[in-house]
Structure 1
Amino acid sequence: MFERFAHEARETVTRAVAEAGLRGDRKVSTDHLLIGVVHDPGASQSLGVTADELRELADALDREALARVGIDVERFGPLAPAAGAGRASFTPGAKDVLRRALGHAADAKSRRIGAAHLLLALEECAAPEPAAILLARLRELRGPSAA
């Protein structure tokens, strides 16, 4: 499937893998793909958010989730990325997004999967997928036209 990815879609996946590493996550998830896709100017403009803003929102959601289970992140300082090496693996949700992006490209009769196809697939995610939660929070903060 990756041979059908256009340059910007390949960059999105590469950025998602890097984002997972930066966040200390062992697998690439839909939130990493979403942060990766907003590096594309069209996707960023469509959502009305930058990668840095989305990353900050993801961090805030992580802190909220940890607080709900009684972990005070501020007490321990910033979380360090987990040590890990090797080939990146994708969560089932992230794999599904990549498959749906292929379907969107086929529906559009496009020979290549672009960032726009990835964004469409990400927008179809439902909770508990991290991208769905991030997009819902973004809508709350920016209004329904933001995402």
Structure 2
Amino acid sequence: MDDMDRQILAELQNDGRLTVTELAARVGLSLSPCHRRLRELERSGAIRGYRAVVDSDAVGLTFDALVFVTMRQEDRTTISAFEQALTELPQVVQAQRLFGDPDYLLRVITADLPAFQRLYDENLATLPGVQRLSSTLVMKHVVHERPLPA
């Protein structure tokens, strides 16, 4: 990964809809070398995909909560079952396993408080190995969806 690759990544993080021609012009490369570098970044996994960033408020998903999970059991089977179950809950938009206590941090987005309560009671509280859940509401996003540093 060199400076040119970093420039390509920075441009695509700011606008993933750039054509290869536009991208080449922005980073100062001719079309063929830019295209080769782009394909190599995709092949290597540095670029994992392309997607639209959707405003949750605009689509009626206005309730944003952080849920801290402390596990009762942390054996391989329980952790695997817990993490697999998380992947099946579309309202869990981010999940990180942490060192220390709590064990996991989840970002959950729902339409409203009743929808969050149903998810909490019917799904999150019943996940394999969960000892305790603690949640807090997101008041405001100060830094959100920021591109990775170059």
Q: Give the TM-score taking structure 2 as reference length.
A: 0.20
Radius of gyration: which is bigger? 2
Q: Give the TM-score taking structure 1 as reference length.
A: 0.20
More strand by share: 2
More helix by share: 1
